[in-house]
């Protein structure tokens, strides 16, 4: 579901009062709910599932699990428990279903997470994912609403899973490009989140999934009451993503994201403003819906170098792609 449609169907829920224990809920569009248990512990709860993005059942299950776990990492939490959610056609061989579950459980185990049960239904289209529970200190929750003008903005994975998986489905992707995208989707955001935990000044974070870089970036800017400035040329792309975008293989979700973000917000200001000089192909990939994408986070200017040093020492990929400034919405240069 696109960001505009989702906001419409949730409007009645966001108007309700929330108990004080609910630190993060529907009132701010964030990646997971956070419930304070006491002064040292808060539960992080999320759920995510989707239809297959690759043909191999085991790999599909593993990618879906990595994607679901990512929401907890984006909140600064450590996941520890999960329940599987699945829908399958009655005609699908049981061994395929078993491989999907096995892939999800193995990827969860890589993150130290136990899949303890779940629920299945019969449906014409296969779907799989996890409901994940994690733990975080109440004072170390990362949210979309904590970015401040002057912050540097970073991304931990390149973009391109949407356009490359579309190319895969149409038998247009090379084996190298397909394998590269699958490798990024299988990569947990755990290590990146743990590196962020070493820098207490970092408080704003989200993960890039279905709304694309610009969609999730806009949510962060709106929640933080600041302007996100993105240098399109600095945004990393997966091998093959640019050429498949040139071949018009972007998925339908990219168009829905773009339509919503090109509209004005409630105050009449543009959600996203794009410089005429920006490469239109690169810009189109900023709308590309991602599966198991990277973390998008901001760091105060005085600790940005410390963050870069920590990621470099850990040999973890990191790209500085922009900054926050006074204002509203997103500007792409």
Number of neighbouring beta carbons within 10 Å of residue 205:
29
Are 89 and 187 members of one domain?
A: no
**Boundary residue ending a domain (140, 169, 203):** 140
Q: Which of 112, 140, 168 is the last residue of a domain?
A: 140
Angle between helices 161-169 and 252-262 (to 10 degrees): 150
Domain that holds residue 136: 31-140
Q: Are 161 and 294 in contact (CB under 8 A)?
A: no
| Three-state SS annotation for 196-257 | HHCCCCCCEEEECCCCHHHHHHHHHHHHHCCEEEECHHHCCECCCHHHHHHCCCCCHHHHHH
Model confidence pLDDT, tens digit, residues 263-316: 988 888 889 999 999 999 999 999 999 999 999 999 999 999 999 999 999 999
pTM, rounded to two decimals: 0.94
Same domain (yes/no): 311, 292: yes
Q: What is the CATH number of the domain that holds 224?
A: 3.90.650.10
The answer to whether 220 touches 148, Cβ cutoff 8 Å, is: no
Strand-pairing partners, residue 134, are 44, 79
The 8-class DSSP code of residue 264 comes to B
Q: In this structure, are 115 and 223 located in the same domain? A: no
Do 117 and 92 have their domain in common?
Answer: yes
Q: pLDDT tens digits, the chain, 333 residues: what are they?
A: 555 565 556 555 555 667 999 999 877 778 999 999 999 999 999 999 999 999 999 999 999 999 999 999 999 999 999 999 999 999 989 999 999 999 999 999 999 999 999 999 999 999 999 999 999 999 999 999 999 999 999 999 999 999 999 999 999 999 999 999 999 999 999 999 999 999 999 999 999 999 999 999 999 999 999 999 999 999 999 999 999 999 999 999 999 999 999 998 888 888 999 999 999 999 999 999 999 999 999 999 999 999 999 999 999 999 999 999 999 999 999
19 is a domain residue: no
Among 140, 175, 195, the domain boundary falls at: 140
Exposure string over 67-104, b if 16+ CB within 10 A, otherwise e: bbbbbbbbbbbbbbbbebbbbbeeeeeeeebebbbebb
Residue 263 and residue 184 in one domain: yes
225 shares a domain with 319: yes
Residue 22 lies in a domain: no
Residue 55: which CATH number?
A: 3.30.1330.10
Dist. CA 280–CA 159, nearest whole Å:
15
How many domains are contained in the chain?
Answer: 2
């Amino acid at each position: 579901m696109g960001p505009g449609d989702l906001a419409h169907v949730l409007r009645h829920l966001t108007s309700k009062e929330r108990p004080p224990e609910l630190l993060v809920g529907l009132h701010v569009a964030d990646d997971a709910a956070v419930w304070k248990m006491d002064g040292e512990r808060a539960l992080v709860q999320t759920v995510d599932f989707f239809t297959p993005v690759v043909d191999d059942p085991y790999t599909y299950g593993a990618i879906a699990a990595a994607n679901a776990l990512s929401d907890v990492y984006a909140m600064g939490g450590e996941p520890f428990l999960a329940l599987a959610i699945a829908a399958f056609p009655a005609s699908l061989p049981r061994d395929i279903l078993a491989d999907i579950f096995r892939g999800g459980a193995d990827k969860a185990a890589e993150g130290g997470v136990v899949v303890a049960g779940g629920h299945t239904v019969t449906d014409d289209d296969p779907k799989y994912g996890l409901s994940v529970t994690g733990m975080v200190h109440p004072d170390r929750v990362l949210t979309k609403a904590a970015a401040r003008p002057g912050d540097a903005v970073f991304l931990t994975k390149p973009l391109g899973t949407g356009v490359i998986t579309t190319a895969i489905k149409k038998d247009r992707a090379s084996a190298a490009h397909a394998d590269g995208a699958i490798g990024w989707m299988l990569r947990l955001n755990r290590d990146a989140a743990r590196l962020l935990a070493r820098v207490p000044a970092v408080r704003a974070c989200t993960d890039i999934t279905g709304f694309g870089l610009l969609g999730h970036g806009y949510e962060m800017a709106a929640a933080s009451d600041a302007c996100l400035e993105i240098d399109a040329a600095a945004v990393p792309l997966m091998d093959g993503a640019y050429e498949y975008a040139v071949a018009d293989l972007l998925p339908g979700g990219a168009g829905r994201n773009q339509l919503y973000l090109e509209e004005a917000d409630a105050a009449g200001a543009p959600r996203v403003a794009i410089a005429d000089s920006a490469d239109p192909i690169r810009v189109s990939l900023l709308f590309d819906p991602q599966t198991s994408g990277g973390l998008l986070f901001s760091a105060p200017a005085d600790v940005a170098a410390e963050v870069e040093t920590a990621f470099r020492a850990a040999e973890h990929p990191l790209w500085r792609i922009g900054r926050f400034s006074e204002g509203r919405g997103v500007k792409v240069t």
